[in-house]
């Protein structure tokens, strides 16, 4: 589950979003709410997938076969998304337009910050695919009861480390943190296409390979 968790953590848009929220008038409050929503969304999606494929630890079960076919489709989708993102990348001299939902993050309300965190982690298609792949791997490894809870918690913690880290830096660092986080945001904005494409292609190949390997058992 580690590659999927790291891919979620390194997604550019959530990092840009949390930096914009932290720079707002109610940055500390909204940053904590965004991180809470982010953790909640990941936890819910990972838990639901774990329950849905609870029998996937038996390689001869229907759940296992569905999980493997799901990986094949998901891996292909990630590779397709990566290729599409690269094809539509800004050309030389062009600047990528930020998503509309980023426009008002610096003055977001508490409810908007909480909801946005949950949606970006739990309802984002790319994150859903990665979370589903990680949760299925946990189940196939034979994790049950306490072991399942711990494994899901570890996945959520790793996948949330950058968002939690940004909030922590802001809470501890004050004015110096604002300069550092601003540099992180600029780097992510300037290199978001390359980062996203690399993550999608590498994870897509990994997920696709796991699915084909499972079908070949």
Q: Are 82 and 200 in contact (CB under 8 A)?
A: yes
Say yes or no to pLDDT of 174 above 70. no
Q: What gap in Å lies between CA 74 and CA 147, rounded to an integer?
A: 26
Say yes or no to pLDDT of 109 above 80. yes
- pLDDT computed for residue 42 by the predictor: 92
Provide the phi-psi class of 145: left if phi over 0, else alpha when psi is between -120 and 50, else beta. left
- pLDDT computed for residue 180 by the predictor: 74
Q: What gap in Å lies between CA 35 and CA 89, rounded to an integer?
A: 29
Those residues with Cβ within 8 angstroms of residue 93's Cβ, 6 or more apart along the chain or in another chain: none
Mean pLDDT of 73-99: 75
- pLDDT computed for residue 66 by the predictor: 75
């Amino acid at each position: 589950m580690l590659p999927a968790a790291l891919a979620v953590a390194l997604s550019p848009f959530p990092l840009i979003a949390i930096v914009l929220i932290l720079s707002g008038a109610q940055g500390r409050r909204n940053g904590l709410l965004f991180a809470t929503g982010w953790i909640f969304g990941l936890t819910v999606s990972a838990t639901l997938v774990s329950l849905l494929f609870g029998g996937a630890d038996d390689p001869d079960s229907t759940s296992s076969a569905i999980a493997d076919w799901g990986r094949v489709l998901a891996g292909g989708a990630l590779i397709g998304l990566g290729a599409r993102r690269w094809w539509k990348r800004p050309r030389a001299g062009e600047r990528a337009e930020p998503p509309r939902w980023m426009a008002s993050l610096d003055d977001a309300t508490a409810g908007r910050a909480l909801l946005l965190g949950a949606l970006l982690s739990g309802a984002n298609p790319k994150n859903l695919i990665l979370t589903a792949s990680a949760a299925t791997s946990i189940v196939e490894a034979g994790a049950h009861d306490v072991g399942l809870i711990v494994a899901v918690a570890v996945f959520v913690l790793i996948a949330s480390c950058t968002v939690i880290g940004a909030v922590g830096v802001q809470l501890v660092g004050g004015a110096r943190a604002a300069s550092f986080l601003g540099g992180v945001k600029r780097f992510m904005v300037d290199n978001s296409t390359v980062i996203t494409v690399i993550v999608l292609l590498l994870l897509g190949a990994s997920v696709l390979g796991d699915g084909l390997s499972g079908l070949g058992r």
